[in-house]
Structure 1
Amino acid sequence: MTTDTTEKFLAEVNTLYNSQDKVRREQADSWLQAFRKTSEAWTIANQVLRSPQLTPQSEAARHFAAGTFRQKITLDLHQLDATARNNLRDSLLELLYQYRSGPRSIVTQLCISLACLALQMPEWQNVLHQFTELYGKNPETVTCLLEFLKILPEEINTNNRIPISDEDYRVRSRQLLTDNANEVLQMLLIYLQNSGTNTDYQKKVFECFHSWLQSGEIAIGALEKSPFLSLSFDALQADELYDIAVDVVCEIIYETREIPESMPIIEQIYPRLLPLRAALKRAMEEEDDDKVRGYCRIFTNAGESYLDLVVQHADDFRSIVESIVECTAYQDTEIVRITFYFWHNLAETLYQPRHANIKDKFKDIYSNLVDIMIKHLHYPKDLSTWSAEKRDEFREFRHVMGDVLKDSCLISGSADCLSKPFATLSRQIANSANGNTVDWQEIEAPLFSLRAMGSEVEDEEDVYLPQIMQLLQQLPDHPKIRYAATLVISRYSYWTRFHPQFIPYQLNFISSGFDNEEVSAAAALALKYLCKDCSELLIEYLPQLHPFYLNVTNTLHGIDVFEVTEAVSHVVAAVRPTELLKALQMFCLPIAQWLHEFANKGTSATEKEIRIACDKLEQFSIIIKVVADPKKEASTADVNPGLVHPCITIIQELWPVFDLLLMHFGSDSHLSESLCKCFRYCVVFYRIPFRPLLPDLMERLVTVFGQTYLSCYLWVAIKCVQKHCDGEGTEMTMAMLSFAERLSVTMFSLLNGKKPADIPDVIEDYFRLNLALFDAPITYSQSAIFPSVFQAGISCLSIEQPDALIAIIMYFNKLLNFRENQNQQRPPSGVQTTVTITPTSPTEVSLNAALTIHDTLWKQYGTSFLENIFKGLMYTFPRDIQHEEIHEILLDLSKLYPLECKQWISEIIQQLGDSNLTSEAKNSFIKDYNLAIQEQDWKKLRRITNDFIAVFRRRYLASRQRRDKE
């Protein structure tokens, strides 16, 4: 090691690991990362690892050199030709022998490097046989073999950075894993049986076995005949092997979840599970959380995997179920959580009609779970000792426990489940009445359980709920108890509908909750559900609700205001049509008056007043939405179709106020969104009644969008088009098209002055507007804006914001779907392309003209379009983008324009200048892509595209990560 680069490497490693100077360490790291990308790194890493020096500097350098091999084999193997790769393999095998005694971290890095190399070297045959010959016969080197065998399936199944095609991966994975699984199983068994009392050695064997088992390569049949099953359960008795033994046993159980084919091995597993219950109880008595967690995992895995057997043979498997109950009752909530999925699956299975008779056998189990859950629901005595994060975690955990309570109701019945919190509440109220101190937690927990079980309690329940509702007014006046009790009323509002005698009491109970800041949120929610479920029964209370509403909405904030507004809206919506306008005016005119006064203030309005105005507009939106709810039996939107709808009358009265708001605050992003929500609800929920006002709305949208460029106005425009574009060439369709053309003038002006990345929300809504127009594709295709929108879409494909990008991709997919669907009607090449459609049903000529326009645009801009698509797939598109739609695009293009696509692809790929893309890879892809088009093998076209993009992106992303570190 005398070269300057080697000395520099050693010095930089020493600086990285030992220097106290942060800036100097960062410089060293940058140099070393750049060094790793060079071809010279192969040689120097090899030299450093072979050096006999044992100085601290060399030890750090060795670790870095081993990591260098791992990284370069993953990312830079293309730097080596076939001969160099063989030399690299032989060198790594020699190094592994050199470091057979450690350090273990270097052994691990070398094994990872060899596993990655094996996956990418199909010419390297008999990999496992070679390893066994080299390292499997000498006790001194067996640990190297075991480490490699453990790592091999892990790397093959989890390292998605390796640049290899899916097809090559499948072939090589089968060669390395599937074809060797039985041999590996036998080898590991021999090593385990010869291990004596060496638990470290045994642990390595079990880790290796677990890795292969987890990969799914070891067949159940092979496992059935292997002593590994018995040995794995025996290993649970050794503290040193306990953790890995739990992992192995759980994996064995999971792999045998296909019951019919696994019955012979399940019959071996089952008798080995039963003695573990005694071990579980000992661990619980000793409060050994780690042991309890392990046994809990085993029993729960068995319950989940053998669920059908648990149900069909309830008596035989009861011991396993009872063991899971004991785990659920344990004090550590993280252990308790492990069992929840089992309880849900079991309840769903038992609830099926075919298991009606079996369900009774589990009633006591689920009844016991109710008591257990109520116990776990208790907050600690001193809640102030908990951090905010811990409180949030516990709140989330309580809601998950609520799901277990629902499952318990399904199996044990609501009466049995309700009896438990009722008994607890009655007892605590009696204790309090006798002068005993009762902590609020003792009452809040059963109240929460009542709320959680609400969805599974029948409307006609007449035993416990009437008593529970009477109990609520006897509870201690503590804010947390009051909060929980109010939410109980909220949860049982559907029940109150069938028991209206409780309405006056519940209204008073809820109303008084608004006087307490800690309870007001629960009160708002309860009022919303009570009014929703009992709307017709509350009409007589409107005179009292009106002043209450005006008063409370002046003191509440945020979502509480909206929930109270929704509450009274449900009652208003239930009013008879002849009295609806009067009821609406009671609640809407105060909003209108406030907004009118605010709008007249113009620029003198404060930020606080603007926020209040947004809330007022939100309240109005809620009212008009709820009143027009199409889910109601007699939708008010359809009442007296010959007359002006009462909501439209209210909207007309508010229209001058809307104009003032647009004039003075149309450019305010928050207020404009609230106002647009009102417009949107008008269009969506009152389609025909609102139509007389539609021209005014569209005129204002065009004007204000031209002034503000805010996307919310396009958002409303989309709904206008969706609701009123009603077929090819109709009067309304032509009006919507003209509307879109006027909006497009502003949009194209904006695109000329802004980068797409600066206006993603506007771009998204603009292309969704054009998607809505495509409900009349022939009319739209011949519009003046279509070619410009087409070109704009291509240029905007560079955007990285997912929602905007998806909208553009959906747009082009829609275009190609239309063109492909009409493929049998392609016009002659000389058809005139300037035909204008008239407001009549489309003719064959107009259809042909539309198709010709599409063909002309695709042939003119196909290269640019495909170039942006491929660059997006390779560089910028998010990985979770809708690739399905992109593949549809590529498929349709190849079907429609096969000759052109071949030419486009060749030009685009050849022009790509990227060091991560070799000429060989380019030529291979072009050849395969064109051949797939020629053979019309569309599955192949998709596969080779996926492989090409996947291999490139792995390489590119890895290299970019390295650049970012520099």
Structure 2
Amino acid sequence: MANISELLSALDVFTRTPDKASLEKANTWLQDFQHSPEAWSTCNVLLLSPDVPPAAKLFAAQTFRTKVTYDLSQVDPSNIAGLRDTLVAALQKYSAGPRTIIVQLCLAISGLALQFPAWENAVQTMINTFGVNPATVPVLLQFLTLLPEEVHTNNRIPITDYEWRERVSDLLAANSKQVLDLLSMYIQASGVTADVQNQAFKCLRSWLMSGEVSTLEMAESPLLAFSFEALASENLFDAAVDVICELIHETQEIDDNMPVIEVIVPRVIALKPLLTTQRDDSDRIRGYARIFAEAGETYRVLIIQHTETFFPIVEAIGECSAYPDLDIVPITFPFWERLAQVIGKRTSVSPLFQQAYRSVMQVIINHLKFPPDATPLVGQEADDFRAFRHVMGDTLKDCCEVLETESCLLATYEMIATALSQSSSWQEVEAPLFAMRSIGGRIDLNDEVAVPKIMDLIPSLPNHPRVRYAATLIISRYTEWISKHPAYIPVQLQYISAGFEDTDMDVVAAAGQALKYLCQDCKEHLVDVLPTLHTFLNTTGSRLCQEDKVQIYEAIAFVISAMPMEKAAESLRTFSLDLLAVVHNVATSPTTANDGDLTTICNALESLEVMLSVIGSFGEELPAACQNTCNEVWAMFDALLSKYCKDENVAERSCRVVRYGLSFFDEAVLPVAPSVVARMSFSFEASGVASFLWIAGKIIGRFGDRENPDLRGSFKEIYERSTQKLVQLLQTQSPDTIPGVLEDYVQMLIQMLQQTPDILFQSSVFPLAFRAATATLNLVQADPVFAALDFFLSIFTHDCLEPVNNLPPNFTQYARAIQTAFEASGPDFLGYLLTGLVGNFPPESDPLVVSIFRSITAMWPTQVMAWLPTILQQIPSSSAPNEIKTTFLSDVSTAINNKKFDKVKYAVITLHRASRRIRERRRTGALVP
């Protein structure tokens, strides 16, 4: 009774508006209770007690389901039959509801039947218990509906594959015919209610989906005919549609199911006239669309082989595609895609299919039209429609599979020409333009018929923003074709340029995108245009938003990349100096820059970054125009960061440019590299911004093997200064507030371990670095955790720890440094390692943890066994209950005592698997909200 009182108190927390701590405390208590052996009897008392609140009864039923899944081993085998009787009796008690309790008890009984082979006649027992009294038939139907779902989907039940197959045969296959007969009887019984009939349909669908009822068995029963007849019923329509669709789906093995298909198809085709007579009822049209689409997808091969017989299904799907409700239209899209895939593999196409896809194309383009200006779409509705247009665009590509792209392009061209000749609305022009853009990826780059017509048409289109937007994006999609037909470049470039003058920001954005792709694909033809682009940037460019400017600079970089190296270097210098002038002016100004100035700097740096990312480098030997640039540019950045390193945006943008500068200048960076690392060191010390460590790591990785005293001195300096700074940060901030800093710091340490291990290990700050890296294991983000685990694995498997003679002299110092750091921070490190393993570490990290733990136990077995009991006590029981910890400690102790350190691997794996099951149980545990 004490348990019941506590349980009711914990559940009561959820009925109020608790604070987070109270909610988590109650939740943890309830989950721990569900683990306990006492939960069996306590929940039975709750279900049988009339005065217990409904939430407690539901929780009791949920707990039974959970414990049957996870904890049946807690029940003595001789008592399992009694547990079965208890659950069946509880289901009888709640046969009138609530439904939530019925569902949980049915799931519990299903899970028990799967694990209790001695219960040989489980289905018959339930039929005998609940199937005779009309009042309890709904309970039986609920059980029979859930049984195949639970048997086939609850993979958390601990049984072997062999046991599972045996029980599936006993529970499902052996009873399928009886279940069909039972459903046939109930669904046609005198006085049967629509609710019972719906339940019977849901049960039938569940057995069909599980594959335990054969389609032939169903076809030979009255249920097939009744399913189609039920479509006439308002109350049974949805359930009947579900069953028919599932039945059709289950006949996808065509050769094995032809007798059933021959029964189904005439009934499906007979529904076609209803698309006209019931056109005003969108819910019914949706159901019919599902049936026709399922039949079309399943029988698409038969549609090709026996076109005359099956083509009415294609016609019906075409009618559904043309329906004005855009929630219904997508139901048909998979059919058109899959049929097109089949047709596309054939050497000839029936005229019937060609006409069908022409109609679909016309229908889709009609759906693409924006509504009249008088009733515009706004807000989420407008966003949804734009997103759906792209989905419809994919179906237009399917049309190209059947009709050939050239034919589709000419058809859309004629639509636009007709609309222009009749002075139609802009919507009539824009929709086929969108279609042209959608199918642009399918065009033949050597097309000389359709695409030239489109290119000639674009400059003469109406100057409406939506039309101009669509036409500009057509250019961006067709740039590969334009590259092979360079005569069209001047006209299209002029059209794009005019787009930058438009007041509509979407048109401007489209122009930026089009220019980028034109320059990318036609770069060899645009070298002479570069001065014009430079003038454009210095005039019109000032009015563009930053996103559009970035696209233009990216476009320019593509053109530069196609030029001879010397000319390319001169051009890059010209455009770069414009951007660097902004940096220089602010960096050297005697006054402090305001937010606007700093934003301008960041924008210029972003543009420079995108140019460098496209160009990459000019190779090992820099052209003359770039010989002195590295020193000059770094002087500007050094001045900028000395003043504004605390501004995160400036810091990040500057470091990204520096990163690309390292790739661009390569060996030419060496003279300034010590200065760069020093600046990163001072800047991180002043600001704590992660980007400075990121760049330091990149430089150490690139030049760490150079015997340059100044460079190595700068490496040592940033290592020691950044470590001291990070330790200070961790004294005032928790690791989860600075995940980026920790990740970039550890990545820098990894580079030092690989390139400059002497600096890493022989510095007095190594124990602090070890402790700082350990803090990274507290994080939930995968990337920093992986970085830390990689770092520690490299340390604990380092050659300096190998017990062999003739190791290099400095390896002794390395080993002593590792030993000192581990003895100082080992308990914390092991605690974080094991807590992460049973907690937030990503699953892919398991091998790293296993290798680290094995290495540590082999190297320091005495310390590990001394620390482990205390460490395990500190791990939350919600992640690893005491019995799991006890098993782990015993397994590790045995492995260490027997000096079989490979056995440690299995101890860690066992701990992780057990904790994962616990976490999964807690995550899916059914608690009452």
> Fold-level match, TM-score > 0.5?
yes
Question: Which residue of the other structure, out of 241, 247, 267, is the alignment partner of 1:275?
Answer: 267
What SS does structure 2 have at the residue aligned with 1:334?
A: coil
Would you say the 8 A contact 2:678–2:718 is kept in 1? Answer: no
Query: Aligned AA for 1:248?
Result: V
- Residue 615 of structure 1 and its aligned partner are, at CA, apart by 0.5
Hey, what's the Cα distance between the residues in 2 that align with 1:852 and 1:222?
76
Would you say the 8 A contact 2:440–2:478 is kept in 1? Answer: yes
Hey, what's the Cα distance between the residues in 2 that align with 1:938 and 1:363?
67
Distance 1:549 1:951, change over 3 A: same
Distance 1:480 1:919, change over 3 A: closer
- Residue equivalent to 2:603: 615
C-alpha offsets along residues 413-442 of structure 1, whole Å, 9 cap, x if unaligned? 22101012100111111112xxxxx22111
Query: Aligned AA for 1:798?
Result: N
- Residue equivalent to 1:842: none
1:646-657 maps to which residues of 2 (within 5 A)? 646-647=625-626, 649-657=628-636
- Residue equivalent to 1:835: 809
C-alpha offsets along residues 343-367 of structure 1, whole Å, 9 cap, x if unaligned? 3444455556xx4456998544443
Question: Which residue of the other structure, out of 474, 499, 508, is the alignment partner of 1:488?
Answer: 474
- Residue 75 of structure 1 and its aligned partner are, at CA, apart by 5.6
**TM score, norm. by length of structure 2:** 0.84
Hey, what's the Cα distance between the residues in 1 that align with 2:580 and 2:247?
68
Distance 1:103 1:801, change over 3 A: closer
- Residue equivalent to 1:631: none
Distance 1:75 1:914, change over 3 A: farther
1:508-523 maps to which residues of 2 (within 5 A)? 508-518=494-504, 519-523=507-511
Q: Does 1:367 align with 2:358?
A: yes
1:479-558 maps to which residues of 2 (within 5 A)? 479-518=465-504, 519-558=507-546
Would you say the 8 A contact 2:180–2:218 is kept in 1? Answer: no
Hey, what's the Cα distance between the residues in 2 that align with 1:12 and 1:960?
12
Distance 1:37 1:893, change over 3 A: closer
- Residue equivalent to 1:949: 915
Hey, what's the Cα distance between the residues in 2 that align with 1:10 and 1:893?
42
Distance 1:27 1:949, change over 3 A: closer
What SS does structure 2 have at the residue aligned with 1:529?
A: helix
Hey, what's the Cα distance between the residues in 1 that align with 2:211 and 2:813?
57
Q: Does 1:808 align with 2:788?
A: yes
Would you say the 8 A contact 2:358–2:399 is kept in 1? Answer: yes
Would you say the 8 A contact 2:176–2:212 is kept in 1? Answer: no
C-alpha offsets along residues 856-899 of structure 1, whole Å, 9 cap, x if unaligned? 9889977755543332243334xxx2x13313542675589679
Q: Which moved more, 1:419-428 or 1:549-558?
A: 549-558
- Residue equivalent to 1:841: none
Distance 1:423 1:605, change over 3 A: same
Asked which structure has the greater RCO (Cα within 8 Å, sep 6+), the reply is: 1
- Residue equivalent to 1:840: none
Hey, what's the Cα distance between the residues in 2 that align with 1:549 and 1:404?
40
Q: Does 1:868 align with 2:842?
A: no
What SS does structure 1 have at the residue aligned with 2:533?
A: helix
- Residue equivalent to 1:458: 444
Aligned residues: 904
1:116-515 maps to which residues of 2 (within 5 A)? 127-155=122-150, 167-168=158-159, 177-195=168-186, 196-197=188-189, 198=192, 199-215=194-210, 232=227, 235-236=230-231, 238-257=233-252, 259=253, 263-269=255-261, 271-287=263-279, 288-305=281-298, 318-348=311-341, 351=344, 355-357=346-348, 362-382=353-373, 385-432=376-423, 438-515=424-501
- Residue equivalent to 1:574: 562
- Residue 92 of structure 1 and its aligned partner are, at CA, apart by 3.6
Distance 1:884 1:457, change over 3 A: same
- Residue equivalent to 1:795: 775
C-alpha offsets along residues 798-842 of structure 1, whole Å, 9 cap, x if unaligned? 1123332233234445667x67xx8xxx98636477733xxxxxx
- Residue 649 of structure 1 and its aligned partner are, at CA, apart by 4.4
Hey, what's the Cα distance between the residues in 1 that align with 2:347 and 2:708?
57
Aligned-residue RMSD, C-alpha? 4.7
C-alpha offsets along residues 454-507 of structure 1, whole Å, 9 cap, x if unaligned? 111122212122222222222222111112122122221222222222222222
- Residue 688 of structure 1 and its aligned partner are, at CA, apart by 3.8
- Residue 719 of structure 1 and its aligned partner are, at CA, apart by 3.1
- Residue equivalent to 1:750: 726
Distance 1:581 1:892, change over 3 A: closer
Would you say the 8 A contact 2:248–2:294 is kept in 1? Answer: yes
Hey, what's the Cα distance between the residues in 2 that align with 1:28 and 1:932?
41
Query: Aligned AA for 1:793?
Result: A
Q: Which moved more, 1:670-679 or 1:246-255?
A: 246-255
Hey, what's the Cα distance between the residues in 2 that align with 1:30 and 1:949?
20
Question: Which residue of the other structure, out of 44, 60, 63, is the alignment partner of 2:54?
Answer: 63
Distance 1:476 1:178, change over 3 A: same
Distance 1:942 1:516, change over 3 A: same
- Residue 27 of structure 1 and its aligned partner are, at CA, apart by 11
Distance 1:863 1:490, change over 3 A: same
- Residue 209 of structure 1 and its aligned partner are, at CA, apart by 2.9
Would you say the 8 A contact 1:429–1:474 is kept in 2? Answer: no
Hey, what's the Cα distance between the residues in 2 that align with 1:400 and 1:737?
58
Hey, what's the Cα distance between the residues in 2 that align with 1:22 and 1:538?
66
Hey, what's the Cα distance between the residues in 2 that align with 1:736 and 1:367?
71
Q: Which moved more, 1:282-291 or 1:892-901?
A: 892-901
Distance 1:539 1:834, change over 3 A: closer
Q: Which moved more, 1:227-236 or 1:443-452?
A: 227-236
Hey, what's the Cα distance between the residues in 1 that align with 2:908 and 2:273?
56
Hey, what's the Cα distance between the residues in 1 that align with 2:818 and 2:115?
45
Query: Aligned AA for 1:637?
Result: F
Distance 1:758 1:251, change over 3 A: same
1:677-756 maps to which residues of 2 (within 5 A)? 677-724=656-703, 731=707, 739=715, 742-743=718-719, 745-754=721-730, 755-756=734-735
- Residue 392 of structure 1 and its aligned partner are, at CA, apart by 0.9
1:618-637 maps to which residues of 2 (within 5 A)? 618-628=606-616, 637=618
- Residue 444 of structure 1 and its aligned partner are, at CA, apart by 0.9
Would you say the 8 A contact 1:598–1:605 is kept in 2? Answer: yes
C-alpha offsets along residues 498-539 of structure 1, whole Å, 9 cap, x if unaligned? 222222222222222122221211111112222222222222
Hey, what's the Cα distance between the residues in 2 that align with 1:605 and 1:393?
43
Q: Which moved more, 1:305-314 or 1:180-189?
A: 305-314
Unaligned residue ranges in structure 2 (runs of 5+): none
Hey, what's the Cα distance between the residues in 2 that align with 1:47 and 1:388?
54
Q: Which moved more, 1:735-744 or 1:697-706?
A: 735-744
**Paired-residue identity, %:** 31
Query: Aligned AA for 2:568?
Result: L
Q: Which moved more, 1:150-159 or 1:450-459?
A: 150-159
Would you say the 8 A contact 1:303–1:321 is kept in 2? Answer: yes
Q: Does 1:97 align with 2:92?
A: yes
C-alpha offsets along residues 109-156 of structure 1, whole Å, 9 cap, x if unaligned? 443454466678788776445433422344443322221222344456
C-alpha offsets along residues 65-84 of structure 1, whole Å, 9 cap, x if unaligned? 43121333356786986599
Q: Does 1:914 align with 2:877?
A: yes
- Residue equivalent to 1:55: none
Hey, what's the Cα distance between the residues in 2 that align with 1:562 and 1:669?
20
What SS does structure 1 have at the residue aligned with 2:236?
A: helix
Query: Aligned AA for 2:657?
Result: C
Hey, what's the Cα distance between the residues in 2 that align with 1:503 and 1:148?
70
Would you say the 8 A contact 1:833–1:852 is kept in 2? Answer: no
Would you say the 8 A contact 2:177–2:213 is kept in 1? Answer: no
Hey, what's the Cα distance between the residues in 2 that align with 1:431 and 1:526?
29
Distance 1:16 1:875, change over 3 A: closer
Distance 1:32 1:576, change over 3 A: closer
